[in-house]
Structure 1
Amino acid sequence: MPIEKVMKRDGRIVPFDKERIRWAIQRAMLEVGVHDDRLLNKVVRRVVRRINELYDGQVPNIENIQDIVELELMRAGLFDVAKAYILYRKRKAEIREEKKKILNKDKLDEIDKRFSINALRVLASRYLIKNERGEIIESPKELFERVAVLSVIPDVLYDERVFDRNGGHEQDLSALEGYIKNLDEYDGKFSIGRFKLNKYHFERFINLYRELAEKGQMKLPIDEVVQMLENGAFDKYEDEVEEYFRLMTSQVFMPNTPALINSGRPLGMLSACFVVPIEDDMESIMKAAHDVAMIQKMGGGTGLNFSKLRPEGDLVGTTTGAASGPVSFMHLIDAVSDVIKQGGVRRGANMGILEVWHPDVEKFIHAKEKNVGTNVLSNFNISVGLWEDFWEALKEGKRYPLINPRTGEKTKEIDPKSLFEELAFMAWAKADPGVVFFDVINRRNVLEPAKGEKIRATNPCGEEPLYDYESCNLASINLAKFVKYDDEGKPYFDWDEYAYVIQKVAKYLDNAIDVNKFPLPEIDRNTKLTRRIGVGMMGLADALFKLGIAYNSKEGFEFMRKATEYLTFYAYKQSVETAKKRGSFPLYEKTKYKNGELPVEGFYHREIWNLPWDELAEEIKKFGVRNGMVTTCPPTGSVSMIADTSSGIEPIFALVYKKSVTVGEFYYVDPVFESELRKRGLYSDELLRKISDNYGSIQGLEEVPEELQRVFVTSMDIHWLDHLLAQANIQLWLTDSASKTINMPNDATVEDVKAAYLLAYKLGCKGVTVYRDGSLSVQVYSVESEKKKQRVKAKPSKYAVEKLKAIVEAEPWLSRFINVEAILNGTNGKEKSVQTGGLTFSVSHVSVPKPAHEHPHHAEKPEIPEEKIRELLGAAYCPVCYEKDGELVELRMESGCATCPRCGWSKCVIS
């Protein structure tokens, strides 16, 4: 009789699945260039027949079956395929051993097997719980269970048996103290179905009960609710925990880093993004330093607008001395960040903003100029905040007034064109400062009437504009997971499943607000006034690869728009549903939502709708909405590595690059690209070397078909105009902003940067970060080395050319700064010797050690003086990889932030 069961290596008995055999044989055939479905089917039939003959009525183990596959391949004369299969088995065995070593365990479970070695390394280095000796004592399964359990605790307390949104119930809260004092007694005592609550879960349970009871919304006393929990009255929510666990362990979505680290643990802080106010007095300045320390200690990133501080040299009334100015106080915050231990690494993340009208704006623009060798403001991203009046002055050619914030009086007038030049030059030279467009951010700001002011700050990577003491927790959905294949093997995107997952993630993030342990009471209060969430996405590049769509094409931009439109629409749909049961965010009645307005630009362009937005706006007016803002696109450095997908909304950096480890060197290949090469019989070490030498790109390689060259594009294959259009198309449908890098080649000019800033503004972006390859301080190596050159220079797509021409034709004054023809033919600004003029630093004399991939062995740290190491870590190398393994791994610029390609560490701590 046919076998029905098979025994796995860990002893589990599972259903026999011949498709797994088919997949393994097909993989071995493709490895040696055999493309023959009839032969494949014949071998699979023989293998299944042999298994049934040998194990009639028994349960074979997986090793027995693999032995039979080897034998049948040789019997069929497929010796090369058999060899490839044997090598694959050996490789799989090596991978299993490597995973055991990483996770410090003897046996792998099903969840361990789902994640790549790279993903497990990232989890092990930053996320899994370790003991005092630094040994891992938590499995990925246990991590995702503690995250999933915490996320469902609000569902229990909002259950209609215990919750009444209308309030009016009084409860005696004195009993709560007994539970809090004796938390250890309740560690593991209660469950939601099969999932146990640890003491930190229970602490959040008690805390949320207190909050709801203080509003009169708890129908029952705490003792009765705890009794219900003990008796299994809430076990129906086991399915919810199971679903969040499934979605995370299937790599469909990932919460931001603080939530993965802190859920169900002592710190308990889940939010990623914060804004701290700073007023023009010493008390407020020192309070800001304290607040930054408290937030960063728990793993968050902070944004500060320094524009209220009086300029350098201004009068200090109490001492009749001279003020030191905003930049000096940025150094104070930078020093605070330096001494905060974050995720095992001394690094904090800040966004420092100064508005363009401030008298110290020129000093601010040059604040990081001397970064090489001095490690200046290494914990800061900096951005100039621009308003409409600056663009008007630039357009009209009028002088622009600088205003003292202390007196409100004009201190001087400047030439806006010169300031614009300086700003663009420093961004060209140093990748800092970026720019934030505050008038665009506030154009559709529905919260302004409720808050009584405009938004004037963002989180460290710029994707979350926030009010003072607001925070936001984020999660990213992996778009690549929704690419499915029909019966003929053609790819399609499953929009229905995507819509379902968006709603689950929106609910997860709203729940996270209720069980969050905020670092400061002001943040707790202000966050809950607006209940802002950030549903985001990652895996865009991999999804487009699978769909056969070029990132820099009209179809690519249309996909981005539609994916983001769905993201915001269905996040709102869930938010309305939650509001019906639990109530709207507290400031809702004072906002523009009541008038049918939405903070989404695309909503005001009916001609591009794919979904019924007018119906949604009516629902929000009728039922309210739970969350003041709902979508964003954050950087996803290590989070996308855990999900084994491409980072955020970025194209991939390189299709192939060399990685060096203690046992030697190997090529890292994008998995989707590798699969395509194998399918076509093109995979070879020689081709991988050629791609790696070509800046990780396949453009211009004759061995690679044109169709693949069209689809598989990298960051540097894409012209900066197309990078801008990607950000603009995504921005169109977000309630908040997007973290994206506008990549430029090393030979880009200051004129290109100026054009990019103006076009970003006109295209409706809320801010922009331009990165010219090689400008990250002491970085002198590219994907592999300075000798490697890209064969084909990026050209703008037809769609980008049309957009560029349309924008400049619509506003002819822009042609003073945007030379359309020069941009298109690649000569923009190259007749000027602008690249060297004004540069006040040099990298040629710095003795830069070779990056990790240039060193064959890493057993010992390179012999470099301590001060040099400090300088390098502040400039272009990953502090985690150096501190952990002694490797000098170059950072890349991704999603507007310096990110490590090896471990996923990012200057933006959220990712």
Structure 2
Amino acid sequence: MLTMPVELPEPQLKPHTDIVLRKRYLHKSLDGATVETPRDLFWRVAASVAESERAYPASPYAPEPEQLAREFYDLMTSWKFLPNSPTLMNAGTDLGQLSACFVLPVGDSIEEIFDAVKYAAMIHKSGGGTGFSFSRLRPKDSRVGSTGGVASGPVSFLRIFNTATEQIKQGGTRRGANMGILRVDHPDIEDFIRAKEKEGEFNNFNLSVGLTEDFMQAVEKDEEYALRSPHSGKVVRRRRAREIFDLLVDKAWSSGDPGIVFLDRINRDNPTPDQGEIESTNPCGEQPLLPFEACNLGSINLSCFHVPGHEQDADPFEGGIDWEELRRVIRLAVRFLDNVIDASRFPLDRIAETVRRNRKIGLGVMGFADLLFLLGVPYDSPEGTALAERIMSFINAEGHAASAMLAEERGPFPAYETSVYARQGLGPYRNATVTTIAPTGTLSIIAGCSSGVEPLFALCFTRNILDGERLVEVNPHFEAALHRVNEATPELMESVARTGSIQQMDFLPASLRKVFVTAMDIDPVWHLRMQAAFQRHTDNAVSKTVNLPNSATREDIHAIYWMAYEEGCKGVTVYRDGCKNLQVLATGEGQQKMDGNAAPAEPVSTVRKRPDILQGFTQKVQTGLGAMYLTVNEVDGKPFEVFATIGKSGRSITAKAEAIGRLVSLALRSGVSVRDIVTQIKGIGGEHPVFRGKGLLLSIPDAIAWVLERRYLKDQPVSMLAPDLEEHRCHECGGELIFQEGCLICPQCGYSRCG
């Protein structure tokens, strides 16, 4: 690897960059100690990617890739551009797998199905996410000629993929994530649409129904359409299209799943149709890919290109954005992403062949909501969507120009001559696709900007820190605007943090409330219009969630789906606030009360008396706040009481540990099961998590849960017993997950259910 220059500056970290880098990206020794600094990380990535220049003698950087490495380093540490997470994690390492998105075929045989499971495990281990179409599998109860048995259908095999993913954590730093797609004309489509009716089912999958033009036209005309068996092509039965569409809408209203993708529209934009149809996308839906194809992604931080002082210009977009610097960054980012293809080691030779044949890259954006704040433009306005079109049109055009320049220098992608570009007399290009709007949940925390093309989820939120203190975190552009109108008080920040919004605060200027809108303030129609505006100038697709209030109706979702079809989107994901059926910590009587089935009588407390003599054990557990000694005394081999001691007496931490121990003891003596206790306290986040084995201990209560679970719940860990907790809580900081960019993410630490 290229030698790091002595004068290389340390990156100026954003407020939470260091935390996220330490948790996810900086390399660690076998005992969990961090052995890399942020400066080391970004040089490792820059140097590894720049080394690819040596393969191209015509490159101006071929003799001295050190110069390009420095440019790449400055590009990333100025937060103007960041590549996808696997590149940050794996560039310059023995693993060397740098792509985020993969699609694998699932054929209609046991051998092909389990090959796909195996290949997915290899990809997840290397840090990638996978998409599958299950549309080739014969429907359930159909005959299998080779055995004389009957097929179990796509949904049953989907369960196998989900279970396999549960056992594999991506490279130890990213969860396994999948997209499952089934064509709307598959005979098992109703079972697929209902697959997530039971909350916690298929929790490692995003699901989408692949809609066709024939189906949508049948919905529009209120006609029937044909369901065909994929292995024979025969019509199995016919269904009224509107009934299926209404079922889709109903399930999306209930839980947010499944989403929809428009397969015919995706394939109309397939640049290499001679290689087959595109059947699926990556986990968040923004990257349609051929079977055995992968793509690496990167995002430009638009908030870095604002030029202040032009808000009142006749055309604030022209003077208010540094277009020349944006052009420079686009061209450098395209070179970076093309180099990543050469620098990457792929988990399968078949994938390497397909990737290098088409050389797809996906350059996207983040920080768009911040740019709107800086320009004083509301997200939900014609001016907002006009800016989206203008800026993405510029990025797409400049990205393709950069790809054409690389084609002159290095040659076009090998499949160019049979591509649609050659037929249309376009190019030649180095890359079959150039632009994608991807999720940037973790990357945007590193860069200190808003996520992707989403509006902010909240203007303020509270973060729980050490010793029970709460820190109110405020969007810096919102805080600056409050200072300008002399309203930046701690009391106001606390009030905003409780709701996340300022729309009901009539004492604030109307102009401020108009610009600083959040995801839940915005009419769903504007979410969709913004997605469509970006889609019109994006080669691949756009990762975006249409957020709806809890009061939204099925008719609202029906309108959004239909508008997505009419506006040219390639897919859409909706999420109605609070639509999940289970309350996270409600069990037993608490759940009965929510269901309206509570018994009228008052509960009776029966606390067992403590025997004079008890036997037990004491275990030392290293927590982020020091060594904790947990004593567990038993009766008949079952826990009866616990005592937690940490640090010297008199400290507030010691008092809290003692209080938690007393409350757990009271619960045990009152007959509460170990399982229920662990379910309640496992995963509670703290400020100083530490590694323990293959996982993290997040806090004192999490450490107590860890001891109890290992001792008494070996065969049934709580993660298997409480899918509701798995679904709603951050596994790293214990914070509440939100649904954004097609995935459950944690806005506090950047954890993502989709990797």
TM-score > 0.5, shorter chain as reference: yes
User: Which residue in the other structure is 1:696 paired with?
Assistant: 500
Q: In the alignment, is the contact (CA less than 8 A) between 1:662 and 1:859 conserved in 2?
A: no
In the superposition, relative to structure 1, how do residues 257 and 395 fare at CA in structure 2: closer, same or farther (>3 Å)? same
User: Which residue in the other structure is 1:69 paired with?
Assistant: none
Matches within 5 A, 1:394-413: 394-413=219-238
- The partner residue of 1:535 within 339, 350, 363 is 363
Give a deviation string over 1:235-276, Cα, whole Å, max 9, x none: 3x3221111101101111110000000000111000000000
The CA RMSD over aligned residues, in Å, is 2.5
Please report how far the alpha carbon of residue 877 of structure 1 lies from its aligned counterpart in structure 2 after TM superposition: 1.4
Matches within 5 A, 1:288-303: 288-303=116-131
Question: Is 2:35 aligned against 1:137?
Answer: yes
Please report how far the alpha carbon of residue 485 of structure 1 lies from its aligned counterpart in structure 2 after TM superposition: 2.1
Higher-strand-fraction structure: 2
Write the letter of the residue equivalent to 1:155.
E
- With structure 1 as the length reference, what TM-score do the two structures score? 0.67
Give a deviation string over 1:374-403, Cα, whole Å, max 9, x none: x32111000000000101111222212111
Matches within 5 A, 1:138-153: 138-153=36-51
Distance across 2 between alignment mates of 1:628 and 1:700: 48
Write the letter of the residue equivalent to 2:473.
Y
Write the letter of the residue equivalent to 1:880.
E
Distance across 2 between alignment mates of 1:682 and 1:852: 37
Matches within 5 A, 1:559-570: 559-570=387-398
User: Which residue in the other structure is 1:221 paired with?
Assistant: none
- With structure 2 as the length reference, what TM-score do the two structures score? 0.80
Distance across 2 between alignment mates of 1:740 and 1:851: 31
- The partner residue of 2:521 within 700, 717, 734 is 717
Question: Is 2:737 aligned against 1:891?
Answer: yes
Distance across 1 between alignment mates of 2:130 and 2:581: 23
User: Which residue in the other structure is 1:462 paired with?
Assistant: 285
Q: In the alignment, is the contact (CA less than 8 A) between 2:737 and 2:747 conserved in 1?
A: yes
Write the letter of the residue equivalent to 1:724.
L
Please report how far the alpha carbon of residue 488 of structure 1 lies from its aligned counterpart in structure 2 after TM superposition: 10
Give a deviation string over 1:345-401, Cα, whole Å, max 9, x none: 683100000000001000000111112xxx321110000000001011112222121
Write the letter of the residue equivalent to 1:665.
R
Question: Is 2:209 aligned against 1:384?
Answer: yes
Please report how far the alpha carbon of residue 110 of structure 1 lies from its aligned counterpart in structure 2 after TM superposition: 5.4
User: Which residue in the other structure is 2:170 paired with?
Assistant: 342
- The partner residue of 1:679 within 473, 479, 484 is 484
User: Which residue in the other structure is 1:34 paired with?
Assistant: none
Give a deviation string over 1:660-706, Cα, whole Å, max 9, x none: 1124101110111112222332111110122123x200112033211
User: Which residue in the other structure is 2:606 paired with?
Assistant: none
In the superposition, relative to structure 1, how do residues 414 and 504 fare at CA in structure 2: closer, same or farther (>3 Å)? same
Distance across 1 between alignment mates of 2:505 and 2:311: 30
Question: Is 2:341 aligned against 1:516?
Answer: no
Write the letter of the residue equivalent to 1:148.
A
Write the letter of the residue equivalent to 1:425.
D
Q: In the alignment, is the contact (CA less than 8 A) between 1:437 and 1:766 conserved in 2?
A: yes
Distance across 2 between alignment mates of 1:273 and 1:765: 20
- The partner residue of 2:299 within 476, 482, 501 is 476
Please report how far the alpha carbon of residue 326 of structure 1 lies from its aligned counterpart in structure 2 after TM superposition: 0.5
User: Which residue in the other structure is 1:315 paired with?
Assistant: 143
Please report how far the alpha carbon of residue 779 of structure 1 lies from its aligned counterpart in structure 2 after TM superposition: 5.6
Write the letter of the residue equivalent to 2:203.
S
Matches within 5 A, 1:766-785: 766-776=570-580, 778=582
Question: Is 2:380 aligned against 1:552?
Answer: yes
Please report how far the alpha carbon of residue 860 of structure 1 lies from its aligned counterpart in structure 2 after TM superposition: 2.0
Q: Secondary structure at the match of 1:351?
A: strand
In the superposition, relative to structure 1, how do residues 327 and 385 fare at CA in structure 2: closer, same or farther (>3 Å)? same
- The partner residue of 2:470 within 665, 668, 671 is 665
User: Which residue in the other structure is 1:265 paired with?
Assistant: 93
Please report how far the alpha carbon of residue 342 of structure 1 lies from its aligned counterpart in structure 2 after TM superposition: 1.8
User: Which residue in the other structure is 2:440 paired with?
Assistant: 636
Distance across 2 between alignment mates of 1:559 and 1:777: 38
Q: Secondary structure at the match of 2:289?
A: coil
- The partner residue of 2:13 within 112, 115, 137 is 115
In the superposition, relative to structure 1, how do residues 262 and 721 fare at CA in structure 2: closer, same or farther (>3 Å)? same
Write the letter of the residue equivalent to 2:63.
F
Matches within 5 A, 1:441-840: 441-448=266-273, 450-451=274-275, 453-486=276-309, 492-596=320-424, 617=426, 620=427, 624-663=428-467, 664-693=469-498, 695-776=499-580, 778=582
In the superposition, relative to structure 1, how do residues 850 and 395 fare at CA in structure 2: closer, same or farther (>3 Å)? farther
Give a deviation string over 1:178-223, Cα, whole Å, max 9, x none: xxxxxxxxxxxxxx9xxxxxxxxxxxxxxxxxxxxxxxxxxxxxxx
Distance across 1 between alignment mates of 2:682 and 2:483: 30
Write the letter of the residue equivalent to 1:723.
H
Q: In the alignment, is the contact (CA less than 8 A) between 1:662 and 1:858 conserved in 2?
A: no
User: Which residue in the other structure is 2:63 paired with?
Assistant: 234
Distance across 2 between alignment mates of 1:573 and 1:678: 42
Matches within 5 A, 1:361-372: 361-371=189-199
Please report how far the alpha carbon of residue 755 of structure 1 lies from its aligned counterpart in structure 2 after TM superposition: 1.0
Q: In the alignment, is the contact (CA less than 8 A) between 2:361 and 2:431 conserved in 1?
A: yes
Please report how far the alpha carbon of residue 293 of structure 1 lies from its aligned counterpart in structure 2 after TM superposition: 0.7
Question: Is 2:664 aligned against 1:860?
Answer: no
Distance across 2 between alignment mates of 1:640 and 1:709: 24
User: Which residue in the other structure is 1:283 paired with?
Assistant: 111
The number of aligned residues is 631
Q: In the alignment, is the contact (CA less than 8 A) between 2:466 and 2:686 conserved in 1?
A: no
What is the aligned-residue identity percentage? 42
Structure with the greater alpha carbon radius of gyration: 1
Q: In the alignment, is the contact (CA less than 8 A) between 2:21 and 2:38 conserved in 1?
A: yes
Q: Which runs of 5+ in 1 are unaligned?
A: 1-13, 15-108, 164-191, 193-232, 598-616, 782-845, 882-887
User: Which residue in the other structure is 1:817 paired with?
Assistant: none
Write the letter of the residue equivalent to 2:66.
E
In the superposition, relative to structure 1, how do residues 266 and 872 fare at CA in structure 2: closer, same or farther (>3 Å)? farther
Distance across 1 between alignment mates of 2:486 and 2:10: 31
Q: In the alignment, is the contact (CA less than 8 A) between 1:126 and 1:343 conserved in 2?
A: no
Matches within 5 A, 1:316-335: 316-335=144-163
Distance across 1 between alignment mates of 2:146 and 2:408: 54
Write the letter of the residue equivalent to 1:390.
F
User: Which residue in the other structure is 2:77 paired with?
Assistant: 249
Please report how far the alpha carbon of residue 487 of structure 1 lies from its aligned counterpart in structure 2 after TM superposition: 9.3
In the superposition, relative to structure 1, how do residues 294 and 858 fare at CA in structure 2: closer, same or farther (>3 Å)? closer
User: Which residue in the other structure is 2:250 paired with?
Assistant: 425
Distance across 1 between alignment mates of 2:55 and 2:324: 30
Distance across 1 between alignment mates of 2:29 and 2:278: 43
Give a deviation string over 1:501-524, Cα, whole Å, max 9, x none: 111101100011011101100000
Distance across 2 between alignment mates of 1:773 and 1:674: 26
Q: Secondary structure at the match of 1:717?
A: coil
Give a deviation string over 1:711-762, Cα, whole Å, max 9, x none: 1110011110000000000000000000000000001011111111111010
Give a deviation string over 1:6-39, Cα, whole Å, max 9, x none: xxxxxxxx9xxxxxxxxxxxxxxxxxxxxxxxxx
Distance across 2 between alignment mates of 1:647 and 1:454: 31
Distance across 2 between alignment mates of 1:511 and 1:317: 47
Give a deviation string over 1:627-675, Cα, whole Å, max 9, x none: 0000000000111110010001100000011111124101110111112
Distance across 2 between alignment mates of 1:485 and 1:752: 39
Q: In the alignment, is the contact (CA less than 8 A) between 1:779 and 1:876 conserved in 2?
A: no
Please report how far the alpha carbon of residue 155 of structure 1 lies from its aligned counterpart in structure 2 after TM superposition: 1.4
Distance across 2 between alignment mates of 1:686 and 1:301: 43
Please report how far the alpha carbon of residue 777 of structure 1 lies from its aligned counterpart in structure 2 after TM superposition: 5.2
Please report how far the alpha carbon of residue 905 of structure 1 lies from its aligned counterpart in structure 2 after TM superposition: 1.6
Please report how far the alpha carbon of residue 435 of structure 1 lies from its aligned counterpart in structure 2 after TM superposition: 0.4
Please report how far the alpha carbon of residue 542 of structure 1 lies from its aligned counterpart in structure 2 after TM superposition: 0.5
User: Which residue in the other structure is 2:133 paired with?
Assistant: 305
Higher-helix-fraction structure: 1
Q: In the alignment, is the contact (CA less than 8 A) between 2:255 and 2:579 conserved in 1?
A: yes
